[in-house]
Amino acid sequence: MIGLCADLKVVVASRPIDFRRGIHGLVALVSDALKCDPYCGNVFIFRSKRLDRLKMIAWDGTGMVLVTKWLESGQFTWPAINDGVICLSAAKMAMLVEGLDWTQVSSPHVKQPRILA
């Protein structure tokens, strides 16, 4: 299973894929097209041409995990189609998978400590 921890890196491919691809084809796509190591522990998310489907792969330390999800109604919120990837936080990934609009959520401002002289 894919564990959601705060430091999880989630990579979303912005171009739709052929949804007939299986786990081996997605691993090759991560390696060749995205120029990433599919065994690094990151989560890689792919979209179909239909906006209601996604596939995710992740290496969990013992094997490769493949997750496929179809929404019964509605569509996933995806970034604009272009070459490349975008990175999401674990919280935004959870929202994406639930079918919520993750683009409407902003990260809270984190205050930096001040050094008093």
Q: Where are the domains of the chain?
A: 10-104
Cα–Cα dist 49/108, whole Å: 32
Among the listed ranges 23-32, 43-52, 60-69, 94-103, which one has the minimum average pLDDT value? 94-103
Task: Specify whether the CB–CB gap between 80 and 14 falls below 8 A.
Answer: yes
Span 101-111, mean pLDDT? 74
Q: Taking all residues of the chain, what is their mean pLDDT, rounded to a whole number?
A: 85
Are 45 and 85 in contact by the 8 Å Cβ rule? The answer is no
d(CA 52, CA 25): 21
